[in-house]
Amino acid sequence: MPGAGRQREMLCFMPGVAVVPALLVGWSSAAFIISYVIAVLAGHVEPLVPYISDTGTKPPESGIFGFMINISALLGAVTMYIRYLIIEKQNESLRFVRSSCNMFSLCIGLIGCTGMGIVATFQELSVPSVHDIGALVAFGCGVVYITLQSIISYKSCPQWNSYFVCHIRMLISVISCISFVPMIVFASRISMTKIDWTPSEKDYTYHFMSAICEWTVAFGFVFFFLTFIKEFQECKSLTVLDGKIQVY
């Protein structure tokens, strides 16, 4: 039947899916910066390195922060899934990684995106324990995800990735991993939950060091996804074929 082919194969995205990681990078950067600027101008946080969550705790920036971070989590999940499909497609011609490892990386990434959604939904001062768990999941799983993706990238060299891109990804992963540990250690030493810190206060040094590490890890994720754009440009389309999404 003439319509059978159209039923079995349906175009899901416009040719070229590089717009997805590009949108993720731009949107996430804007979410961090806009919330920070509004919070500082409103006098809700000190301009010198607040926690990212501190910049989205009080209105009006809290609404903007929650909305934009939730969208970032969704874009992150879509980007990770497309990356999973691309690796599966590349594996058809060169078996450089196990499918189970690729799936494990995807699952870790999606759990991290869920953590982002928790951070955006449960604000720091309203439900601090849930917010902190979400942040730990988001950052912890995010660091594991980009590390796994860096390793997979090396395994796909030189056919699917250049060594330069792999080195950049691994460098970002190493910096993020190194920053993640002191971020947690310093945060655990803080004895109070507040957002309006001043240098003379107790535990300010712990807060300051932990916040620097948090921003480093967060923008490490942003720059890591930036390296996906060129690779995604080589993917011309995503289609549904026999009930399965495939890349071409």
- 68-89 confidence digits (pLDDT tens): 999 999 999 999 999 999 999 8
> Is residue 242 classed as helix, strand or coil in its secondary structure?
coil
pLDDT given at position 50: 94
pLDDT given at position 173: 98
Mean pLDDT in residue range 7-27: 69
The more confident residue out of 174 and 15 is: 174
Confidence label for 238 from pLDDT (cuts 50, 70 and 90)? low
The more confident residue out of 7 and 61 is: 61
pLDDT given at position 4: 40
Here the tokens at position 211 are 């916040």
Q: Does the structure show a pLDDT above 70 at 242?
A: no
Mean pLDDT in residue range 136-164: 94
- Give 10's contacts (C-beta < 8 A, 6+ positions apart): 239, 240
Phi and psi at residue 200, to the nearest 5°: -85, -10
Q: Does the structure show a pLDDT above 90 at 10?
A: no
Peptide bond between residue 128 and the one before it cis (omega within 30 degrees of 0): no
Here the tokens at position 120 are 């955006």
pLDDT given at position 8: 38
Q: Does the structure show a pLDDT above 50 at 43?
A: yes
What separation in angstroms does the CA of 239 have from each of 2, 12, 14, 81? 18, 5, 10, 14
Percentage of residues of the chain with pLDDT beyond 70:
88
pLDDT given at position 212: 97
Mean pLDDT in residue range 211-220: 97
Confidence label for 193 from pLDDT (cuts 50, 70 and 90)? confident
pLDDT given at position 90: 85
Mean pLDDT in residue range 228-233: 88
Residue spans of alpha helices (H) in 49-162:
61-91, 99-121, 128-155
pLDDT given at position 12: 42
